Amino acid sequence: MTQETAFHDDAAKAVLSLAEEMAFSDITLPKLAAHLDRPVGDFLNLPSFNTLIVDYLDRTCASEPVDETESLRERLFDIAMLRFEAMEDHRDGAMAWQDSWLMHPLKRVEAAKRRVKSARWILALAGEKQDIFLRPKSVVLSGILFRAEQAWRKEEGEDFTRTMAQLDRDLRDIDGWAERFSSFSFGPFGKKKAADFSAAV
């Protein structure tokens, strides 16, 4: 991990910590700098708070090695759960962060775009090919992640019972993805048809 990456992760965790104490919209760079006991000038060119948090959570997904002997469903489950474990470490702050966009249509659209990007990363970590079918699969997985996030918000303990059940249920047919997406014809018009499908999703 580079020094910049470590700094960004510290900043992300500090933002989540501040979100436990105040409205997410009230968090500012001076408040973040004070919380981390650093001069505000150190935060020049810092990514947005949303980007900081998403990148931090995405990096946690790569914090443990992937067992290539497992099925795609099992790999995706294990990787995604690392994300929820990181969220649980900052539960109140993560909930406040989500609350900042959940009830706002435009902010929710932006959050959905960020989630598709995260889903693409998780698929890549699981060993999925970087081909034209990765985009539609990312969209599907982003929806699964959203449903799991809603289950996580309802957890009453720290055993992830609801989260794991929801994630496992939605990922149950995930191993059939590759076969379904690769079933597109690559005849004279096949590549254009597949590309059009990817762009449409």
Tokens of 29: 């760079």
Q: What confidence category does residue 135 fall into, taking pLDDT thresholds of 50, 70 and 90?
A: confident
CATH match of 3-200 with 1.10.357.10: yes
**Per-residue three-class SS string for 134-173:** HHHHHHHHHHHHHHHHHHHHCCCCCCCHHHHHHHHHHHCC
- Average pLDDT estimate for 57-84: 97
Distance CA 92, CA 96 (A): 6
Map residue 71 onto helix, strand or coil.
coil
pLDDT in the model for residue 131: 83
Q: Tens digit of pLDDT for each residue in 22-43?
A: 999 999 999 999 999 999 999 9
Quick one: angle between helices 72-89 and 161-171, nearest 10? 150
- Side-chain-facing half-sphere of 112: CA atoms under 13 Å: 12
pTM of the model: 0.86
Average pLDDT of the chain, as a whole number: 89
